[in-house]
């Protein structure tokens, strides 16, 4: 079953010229179509300015199409009466953890989303505790958010999204501002959420992160350049070069060692090396 359907989506930002008239800008998204199957893990990659963040914001109605449609669980984001429903089903986690923390105390911050949805207080308590445990931040629940590292703040932002019990979470470069350890912990959480059934859309510029998805959509100048499995994409050097990307280090190593092309992640590589060393 398809959870999200994007049909001929175009987004054109307008700007106000000096004489006060509206001027059409270039298309940030230019007629793209794809769908996301319920429960799947889709990664979106592409150079800066290719339209990834604009697309992310269209997926829960933060931005509306200039033309075309975005259908979430059967609901069109253009249907204003469905906007709350859509936003409660599709959570968002953005790049900068500092811009996403709204309360000074960790647990209040996680409670913010469900409070806005009108969830009863006892249920909020349950959800906040369980979301904090899920991201490994329960023991920090009474801390001031300013005391946390970037990675911990990002885990709180994810807990905030999880506490809304969404069916899907869109992550827009969630690890871009984190150190390697923070990045790994956030990726572990993303994979775990997906394995529990949350439809996962991960925008990233780390190829090693995209490699963990079921499917990779490559964007370029507002278009979808390619939509394939990681295995198919990494076998297509022409596409990798055209999109200005590079192979994940593990895939490069695998190629040089002549190992099977099923190896996509560090974990795959470890399993293969263990087999070889046996």
Ligand X SMILES: Nc1ncnc2c1ncn2[C@@H]1O[C@H](COP(=O)(O)OP(=O)(O)O)[C@@H](O)[C@H]1O
Residues near Mg ion (CB under 5 A) = 52-53
- In degrees, rounded to 5, the angle at the alpha carbon of residue 31 between the alpha carbons of residues 27 and 37 is 125
Question: Which of ligand X, Mg ion, none does 132 bind, CB closer than 5 to 8 A by kind?
Answer: none
Q: Does 31 bind ligand X (CB under 6 A)?
A: no
Question: Which of Mg ion, ligand X, none does 91 bind, CB closer than 5 to 8 A by kind?
Answer: none
Q: Which stretch binds ligand X (CB under 6 A): 48-56, 84-92, 126-134, 270-278?
A: 48-56
Q: Does 21 bind ligand X (CB under 6 A)?
A: no
Q: Which stretch binds ligand X (CB under 6 A): 42-50, 92-100, 207-215, 256-264?
A: 42-50
Minimum CB–partner distance for residue 27 and Mg ion (Å)? 16
Q: Which is nearer to ligand X, 54 or 185 (CB)?
A: 54
Applying CB under 6 A, which of residues 43, 54, 185, 199 lies at the interface with ligand X?
54
Site string for ligand X, 124-143 (x = CB under 6 A): --------------------
Interface residues with ligand X (CB under 6 A) are: 13, 25, 28, 46, 48-54
């Amino acid at each position: 079953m398809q959870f999200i359907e994007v049909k001929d989506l175009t987004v054109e930002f307008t700007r106000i010229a000096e004489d006060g008239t509206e001027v059409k800008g270039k298309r940030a998204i230019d007629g793209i179509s794809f769908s996301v199957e319920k429960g799947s893990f889709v990664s979106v990659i592409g150079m800066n300015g290719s339209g990834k963040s604009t697309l992310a914001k269209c997926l829960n109605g933060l931005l509306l199409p200039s033309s075309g449609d975005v259908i979430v669980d059967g609901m069109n984001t253009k249907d204003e009466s469905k906007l709350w429903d859509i936003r409660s089903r599709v959570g968002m986690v953005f790049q900068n953890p500092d811009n996403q923390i709204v309360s000074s105390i960790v647990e209040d911050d996680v409670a913010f989303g469900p409070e806005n949805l009108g969830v009863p207080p006892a249920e909020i308590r349950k959800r906040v505790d369980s979301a904090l445990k899920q991201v490994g931040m329960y023991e920090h629940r009474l801390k001031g958010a300013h005391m946390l590292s970037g990675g911990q703040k990002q885990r709180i932002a994810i807990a905030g999204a999880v506490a809304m019990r969404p069916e899907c979470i869109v992550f827009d470069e969630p690890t871009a501002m984190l150190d390697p350890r923070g990045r790994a912990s956030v990726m572990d959480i993303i994979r775990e959420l997906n394995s529990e059934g949350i439809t996962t859309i991960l925008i990233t510029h780390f190829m090693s992160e995209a490699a963990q998805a079921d499917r990779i959509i490559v964007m370029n100048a507002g278009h979808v350049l390619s939509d394939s499995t990681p295995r198919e994409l990494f076998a297509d050097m022409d596409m990798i070069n055209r999109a200005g990307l590079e192979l994940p280090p593990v895939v490069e190593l695998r190629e040089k060692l002549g190992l099977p092309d099923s190896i996509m992640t560090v974990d795959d590589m470890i399993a293969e090396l263990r087999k070889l060393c046996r």
